[in-house]
Structure 1
Amino acid sequence: MFENLSERLLRTVKHLRGQARLTDDNIKDALREVRMALLEADVALPVVRTFIEHIRERAVGQEVMTALSPGQVLVKIVNEELVRLMGEANAALDLRAQPPAVVLMAGLQGSGKTTSTAKLARFLREREKKKVMVVSCDVYRPAAIKQLETLAREVQVEWFPSTPDQAPVAIARAALDLARKQFFDVLLIDTAGRLHVDAEMMDEIRALHAAVDPVETLFVVDAMTGQDAANTAKAFHDALPLTGVILTKADGDARGGAALSIREITGKPIKFLGVGEKTSALEPFHPDRVASRILGMGDVLSLIEEVESKVDKEKALKLAEKVKAGKNFDFYDFREQMEQMMAMGGMAGLLDKLPGMGNVPDDVKKQVNDKQVKRLIAIVNSMTPQERRFPDLIKGSRKRRIALGAGVQVQEVNRLLKQFDEMRRMMKKMSGGGLNKLMRAMKGKLPLGGMGGGMPPLR
């Protein structure tokens, strides 16, 4: 997300190098570039105008008199204005209500409402430790009820059964009644969508809202629809008291116009970003962190939180103890590391959150991809248990058999074995208190070399 916008903004800042300070003259060209970057990102025109005016007022004046670098000043101001535009701080769900707290999911058909309901249920169960029930009031789309039932089972929350011949309001009331009796903390209600905003749909969802009195009414919208997403959100907000927005398919949106327009147009905060198809791919929306990502400064806090929530701490501790004791690092350990990386959104997701990645050329970034990681896992899966435990056994005929089983060339098996040997040597250096020596030897290099078929260490 925001790749195009990030590239344009960083290029604009570079053009200010060598200038003594920001003036009316040199800021004019920079602001024109920022304006074009925002318009290309499909940000709504009124939002762009206000944004540019705020930057101009702040940039040319007393505020930058003592600045060392005009480029740094502009980045600081743009960063702060992006945060202001998107809502200052994370707007968490307000579930402070007599249980069960009811959350109503609204949106157009195809926006990802049902999947987002399941993702949110999983988030509340795992991160907030809530007892969650979900129910579908979508009696029009044939597979909607079955889809939510399947997803509820996957994310391990309670599913309230409903059928297409029932009235949506009757379904919602029955689910709320059972959720009260069985002491659920949260009830998530998935509602029907339409292909466009129409009076019938709005009447139905208003009736549902009146029947269950939700503490949160979330509008689910596709990020890839750009400023149309903000306009649709406004139409819904005019008919329904929305409390927030879930922006789906954010991982496939290179522009980011929806994220930058919604708050300004509707006055309602984005509460979550959908960043993939998996039920774990839901992130709380932090305006300050997203602004940092746009300006190529990374998002280390989100990365830390992701590691905290998705890395198996027990397995990580066992590996650390194994390495410390000087025991051999084997292919079981290697595969575990690859699988944990994929659980955190893969290489692309991790790199996106690292500071300075905006300056890494695209052709280098493309070499580091999840497809390559999956191929490595496939090669390890093609090995016998004995080969995984004792990698030195893997010679000629074994290599050919492994390559055939994984559907790769023998050269790829050789490359993996070479990478593995390098990792094992590193692990040995880390045993017996050699970590400091290892870090000095690396001199700050990031050892991603093998993951993308020859990517050089990042400096």
Structure 2
Amino acid sequence: MFDSLSERLEGAFKTLKGESKLTELNIAQSVKEIRRALVAADVNYKIAKEFTDTVKDKALGQENVLNAVKPGQLMVKIVNDELVDLMGGTVTDIDIKGKPAVILIAGLQGSGKTTFSGKLAYHLKGNRRKSPLLVACDVYRPAAINQLSVIGEQINVPVYKEMDNQNPVEIALKGIAHAQAHGHDVVIVDTAGRLSIDEKMMEEISNVKEAIQPNETLFVVDAMTGQDAVNTAKSFNDRINYDGVVLTKLDGDTRGGAALSIKYTVGKPIKFVSMGEKMETLDVFHPDRMASRILGMGDIISFVEKAEMQFDEEKAKKLEKKIRKNKFDFNDFLEQIGQIRKMGDLKSLINMIPGMSKMTKNLDIDDSAFNKVEAIIFSMTPQERNHPELMNLSRKKRIAKGCGHSIEEVNLFLKQFDQMRKMMHKMSKMPGMGTGAPTGGSGKKLGGLAKRRARRKR
């Protein structure tokens, strides 16, 4: 995500390396490179020029101040502030007041609408303690209704559907009535994908919106389409006047143009960003955190928040006791892997940690990285999982045969596990050190900090 843009911006800041202060000449050179980086990221030239003109003016105003700050660092600060402002400045929440609140989902064909509808239901159910109902109003593609049904079953959220009804307005109204009768406090209406040039389909989505009067209308955009996505979002907004934008497929080859310029062009905030197919991979859009990621500074607050959502304090206390007694076993390790998986896409998580995006740039990291480890552990007996010290050659050979990996791979894993176990035990003895989990020990302070900062930004 934004790798190319991040590299180009880093190159722009390097033009100030070795300079003792900002001058009109080095500012102009750096700003020129920043403009090139934005245009290469598929940001409209007019927006890129206006952005860099503002950066230049602010940088020129800093020529004779803050001499203790390096010019490159000062320019990063200015660009960061302007990126935050360009992408909307602050977090914009969705309106889920009402009994029930109604959210209408619109978007282009293939933008990821149906998957997003499921992710939003999962998000509202888990993070906002809501009881959502999904309503299938894509009457043109039977597979879409089936897809929503499968997603609903996966996340344990009911789906209202009428296979024989071809009127999306009727289905939406009946779905809302069903939600009222069955105690659902949020209704998410998934509509058919459409093209902005298809007058019949545009008329249909307008009629659905007028009939159901949603609290919130969200327009789903494929982030990989760049500036085309921005243009399409504008034409849709002119027609249905939606409330916010959702950027999907941010885990793909995203140049960044849509995320950077859609708020400027359309005047509507980005409310959610989505990456991957997993239901957990939906994030509330934070302009400041996205700017930090673009500039290669990571997003540790989002990382901590994701960890906290999967964290059980009672389990952590038990785990800490086991680590202190050097009793951490393979079952504990499996549980930790499970928690990491629930947090979302592995590479995206790693890239939230400051400095890690450069280190993992050329590495193919995904959830399959855990598959070998899990296969090895699952090939152990319950006794072996509870007592790592039982491992001997005959047990290793049996495990290797059972998991389909070589004895060398099994030995390597066991060696790494032993080293990790010893290190965790050693660290647990240090003053002020807990399990390193998001709450408990020093992590508790970090988690609290994340929450306080998040509340202030909201």
Residue 262 (structure 1) shift? 0.9
Aligned pairs, number: 435
Which stretch shifts more, 374-383 or 84-93?
374-383
Once the two structures are superposed, residues 38-90 of structure 1 have per-residue CA deviations (whole angstroms, 9 ceiling, x without a partner) of 12211222221221111111111257633421111110110000000000011
Aligned to 2:276: 276
Aligned to 1:355: 354
Corresponding letter in the other structure for 2:248: T
* Cα distance change, pair 438–182 in 1 and its aligned pair in 2 (3 A): closer
Residue correspondence of structure 1 range 201-280 to structure 2 within 5 A = 201-280=201-280
Kept in 2: contact 1:9–1:295 (CA 8 A): yes
Aligned to 2:52: 52
Q: Distance in 1 between matches of 2:267 and 2:347?
A: 32
Aligned to 2:396: 399
* Cα distance change, pair 432–35 in 1 and its aligned pair in 2 (3 A): closer
Q: Distance in 1 between matches of 2:28 and 2:272?
A: 35
Q: Distance in 1 between matches of 2:393 and 2:313?
A: 37
For the residue of structure 2 that corresponds to 1:134, the secondary structure is strand
Which residue, 424, 429, 432 being the options, matches 1:427? 424
* Cα distance change, pair 32–251 in 1 and its aligned pair in 2 (3 A): same
For the residue of structure 2 that corresponds to 1:139, the secondary structure is coil
Aligned to 2:445: none
For the residue of structure 2 that corresponds to 1:217, the secondary structure is strand
Q: Distance in 2 between matches of 1:280 and 1:294?
A: 22
2:386 is the alignment partner of 1:389 = yes
2:161 is the alignment partner of 1:161 = yes
Residue 277 (structure 1) shift? 0.6
* Cα distance change, pair 242–436 in 1 and its aligned pair in 2 (3 A): closer
Q: Distance in 1 between matches of 2:20 and 2:382?
A: 64
Residue 348 (structure 1) shift? 1.6
Q: Distance in 1 between matches of 2:197 and 2:312?
A: 44
Q: Distance in 2 between matches of 1:255 and 1:112?
A: 18
Corresponding letter in the other structure for 1:122: Y
Q: Distance in 2 between matches of 1:193 and 1:436?
A: 52
Once the two structures are superposed, residues 203-241 of structure 1 have per-residue CA deviations (whole angstroms, 9 ceiling, x without a partner) of 000000010001110001111111111111111101001
CA RMSD, aligned part only?
A: 2.1
Which stretch shifts more, 384-393 or 73-82?
384-393
Corresponding letter in the other structure for 1:339: G
* Cα distance change, pair 377–437 in 1 and its aligned pair in 2 (3 A): closer
Q: Distance in 2 between matches of 1:76 and 1:167?
A: 52
* Cα distance change, pair 369–190 in 1 and its aligned pair in 2 (3 A): closer
Q: Distance in 1 between matches of 2:434 and 2:165?
A: 69
Which stretch shifts more, 115-124 or 62-71?
62-71
Kept in 2: contact 1:64–1:73 (CA 8 A): no
Q: Distance in 2 between matches of 1:432 and 1:72?
A: 38
Which stretch shifts more, 391-400 or 373-382?
391-400
Aligned to 2:92: 91
Residue 148 (structure 1) shift? 1.0
Which stretch shifts more, 215-224 or 31-40?
31-40
Once the two structures are superposed, residues 383-434 of structure 1 have per-residue CA deviations (whole angstroms, 9 ceiling, x without a partner) of 1212211222222232222223222222111111111111221233245566
For the residue of structure 2 that corresponds to 1:143, the secondary structure is helix
Q: Distance in 1 between matches of 2:434 and 2:329?
A: 22
Kept in 2: contact 1:248–1:273 (CA 8 A): yes
- Structure 1 portions without partners, runs of 5+: 440-459
Q: TM-score normalized by structure 2?
A: 0.90
Kept in 2: contact 1:429–1:438 (CA 8 A): no
For the residue of structure 2 that corresponds to 1:251, the secondary structure is coil
Q: Distance in 2 between matches of 1:162 and 1:51?
A: 49
Which stretch shifts more, 236-245 or 12-21?
12-21
Kept in 2: contact 1:134–1:157 (CA 8 A): yes
Residue 264 (structure 1) shift? 0.9
Residue correspondence of structure 1 range 41-440 to structure 2 within 5 A = 41-62=41-62, 65-67=65-67, 68-96=69-97, 98-194=98-194, 197-324=197-324, 326-360=325-359, 362-363=361-362, 366=363, 370-431=367-428
Q: Distance in 2 between matches of 1:292 and 1:57?
A: 22
Kept in 1: contact 2:292–2:299 (CA 8 A): yes
Kept in 2: contact 1:429–1:435 (CA 8 A): no
Q: Distance in 2 between matches of 1:367 and 1:148?
A: 30
Q: Distance in 1 between matches of 2:234 and 2:313?
A: 43
Kept in 2: contact 1:206–1:240 (CA 8 A): yes
Kept in 1: contact 2:196–2:236 (CA 8 A): no
Residue 345 (structure 1) shift? 2.5
Q: Distance in 2 between matches of 1:295 and 1:27?
A: 18
For the residue of structure 2 that corresponds to 1:29, the secondary structure is helix
Corresponding letter in the other structure for 1:94: D
Q: Distance in 2 between matches of 1:4 and 1:75?
A: 17
Kept in 1: contact 2:273–2:285 (CA 8 A): yes
